Structure 1
Amino acid sequence: MQAGRLRDRVVIQNITTSRDPSGQPVETWHNGAEAWAEVKGISGRELVAAGAETAVAT
């Protein structure tokens, strides 16, 4: 591991589901652990192979 590559701060989040007063489910995200990481983008080929949609926040 090379510390110079760990330049991105990531937050691991957990989702909890509760109910509002009318009984409808409400999903809430809570921040958990934080860590320095190396974030790498994926190619279009990897995205298609995974068969999943991803969202990228900028």
Structure 2
Amino acid sequence: MNSGERVITGSELRTARALGEIKKKNGITRTDHKGFKVPTKSSTSNIPVTKPLYMPAKT
């Protein structure tokens, strides 16, 4: 088991259960680190940006 799998099946799973994000006893948070990127207001924010942060220069 690699470090990513340990996080998913260990501390992440325990935290999700403690916060009530997983209802079933055998429920899981996720099975891998795959997903999709979502631009946010800052590196510590979880608020999505609805407008581009910058406009690329026209060439």
TM-score of Structure 1 vs Structure 2, range by shorter chain? under 0.3
Instruction: Choose between structure 1 and 2 for higher RCO, CA contacts under 8 A separated by at least 6 residues.
Output: 1
Q: Which has the higher helix share?
A: 2
TM-score normalised according to structure 2 size: 0.21
Higher strand fraction: Structure 1 or Structure 2? 1
